[in-house]
Amino acid sequence: MKKSYTAIIGLVSGFAILVISIMTSGDIRSFISLSSIAVTAGGSFAALLISFPSKDLMKVPKILKLLIEKPEQDRVRLITTFSELARKARRDGLLALEDDLTGMEDEFMVTGLQMVVDGIEPDIIREILTLKMETTERRHRMGQNIFSKWGELAPAFGMLGTLIGLIVMLANLQDAAAIGSGMAVALITTFYGSLLANLVFIPIASNLSVQTNEEMLSKEMAIEGIIEIQAGTNPRILEEKLVTYLSPEEMTMMKEEKVSTQEALSYE
């Protein structure tokens, strides 16, 4: 787990910019409206209750924690781990890997390597791990879908609230003095709906999507590595293959590791 506050900084600074923009031009109090929040956030959440199973909606608080505590995708360390495992497997046999499993945190790696130790066939290992990866992805995409849908529904309910305000105002046009404030109140719901969608729900959906992609990439790498270890691939080739998953930044970080790895290799 890696703590990241970028999302919080974005959220706070985005709100700050809008609040400052309001305060420099008018009165912030005319923007505070509990009923507008009820219509946009509450109404769109009611629509979410119809759209998604409650067991998935109840995971929303847990999903929100992912914005701060991201599971770390340290692909450089993953390569080092695989290098060591590959060398050990070649030297002491696949069964020797069992000792390494106890300390491992990543449950996906443990499942895969345990199957290697158990001597299950490569095709079945790949199939099971790919299935496991797809199940995880399907579950993560559900979280994104909830926030994407919320990002669509919030402005729609904002507009519904504005229509309510406009219809009420137009039905009582005789009070000319109230027209302006009536329209102001009506527009606030649109403002809230658009704000929730564009500063909260849509960015969160995007954040979750990037995280899922990153995690899937690490899992793909792990599957590749596990299969190669079982096949007894030369550690150098294994590393060459896994390095292709790295970004240039990660490659630079990898350099020192590589040096030591190649030294180790030269003694074999």
Q: To which H or E segment does residue 69 belong?
A: strand 69-70
Pattern 143-162, a second copy, x by CB under 8 A? ------x--xx--xx-xxx-
C-alpha span between 143 and 210 (Å, rounded): 12
Residues 66-95 that bind a second copy (CB under 8 A): 67
- The pair of three-digit structure tokens given for residue 65, joined into one six-digit string: 């924690």
Beta carbon nearer to a second copy, 75 or 87: 75
Residue 155's closest CA among 209, 204, 201? 201
Binding flag, residue 120, a second copy (CB under 8 A) = yes
Identify residues 186-205 at the interface with a second copy (CB under 8 A). Answer: 187-188, 190-191, 194-195, 197-200, 202-204
Q: In Å, how far from its chain's centre is CA 176?
A: 50
List 3, 53, 61, 91, residue binding a second copy (CB under 8 A): 53
Q: Among the candidate windows 83-91, 96-104, 246-254, 256-264, which touches a second copy by CB under 8 A? A: 246-254
Category of 171 on φ-ψ map: left (φ > 0), alpha (ψ -120 to 50) or beta: alpha
Where in 9-38 is the site for a second copy (CB under 8 A)? 9-11, 13-14, 17-18, 20-22, 24-27, 30-31, 35, 38
159 near 190, Cβ under 8 Å?
Answer: yes
168 makes contact with a second copy (CB under 8 A): yes
